[in-house]
Structure 1
């Protein structure tokens, strides 16, 4: 429940920032709140440097690799509940069956998901969330937003966070301590798994802010269209914008 409350408050904050930003003139129509966004990114970077990165390194150091992999699999298995629901919302019937079967197999044969048995029988992991679902329904992303703690997002992305929290059974645990601890463990585990990736991205970027903004929009559009980009896609415009910024374009990941 704590995560749901935090996401709801972030949604209210997004609306407030949007109203305040209406009175300003922005250079980039995709990023009318650049001043706010850069400030929040600086805050997030400091929080990462002084809290998340040390925690992630300590977690990685004390946790045996098989345990680390099991924790990652456990949270990935829980995520498959939301993935399956979003498959259905997007009318991906075949994929709904595959992801539903993946959750059942890993929950039973995989000891609550700690072992990814589904991957061993060719049931691949898919990436679907409520932001993608809204994009498939035709809801525009809106302008770029950087959220405290959550990072790159958009107004539609905030709605996606709220929807994903509603699909996550951890949100409904009776004890806020238990749910908060599980969400915290998941965040640290994810950060530990991406220590190298973030370092490489940071070193490759001339302007980290432009780099991550471009990466966010590219990834979202790529996922929404399952890699089949339509003609006239904004992705091409973003790539051109990044090249004009003298930054290497980011491939969707």
Structure 2
């Protein structure tokens, strides 16, 4: 981090994508803004190790522990960002991955804009690509997959709140990357098979990717639901479905 005597101040809020977990995978700009911050509001996911490097005067707030009373949690986070920025502080909102990939980043940008608070968005490395790569899985590969699709699995395919067209996804020949889907993967696999995806399609689950605790578990669509239970796979984990799962050398797995 930048030495204290080199600190400059960036007014307002910086929405920083911290990357998939390894503290070395945050961008140079994101790391610089962290070093300049007065206040850091951090998510559970992302490079938490970087917070230990901050100077003692920096106020670090765990977003999950912001009291929200009559407010929704996200609304309370928005209000905290606005409150600290209005006090003239340099605020960093540290998120895992990229702020705009299932990170609710735009909700915060809109709230800040409405309050007249300047906001800088710093893209981050998304776990959807980097975590498979760290486990030796390319999301595209010549002659194997010319496309990849990233989808949220936080609601089941049969949930009326789902916005995902699972039948169409089952017909794609490329790679399917599922985020936030560990507890729903059995149902997701059943749905994909029901709509024509071969049951023997390879699946890899990469738990806590890019960190020292990274773990890869392989299965197929037919077995992945049971494999998650027997192998006790826990979030956060990125799920990769498709032929690319098997193209890498075992030494990278």
Provide TM-score, normalisation by structure 1.
0.28
Which one has a larger percent strand, Structure 1 or Structure 2? Answer: 2
Provide TM-score, normalisation by structure 2.
0.28
Which one has a larger percent helix, Structure 1 or Structure 2? Answer: 1
Structure with bigger gyration radius:
2
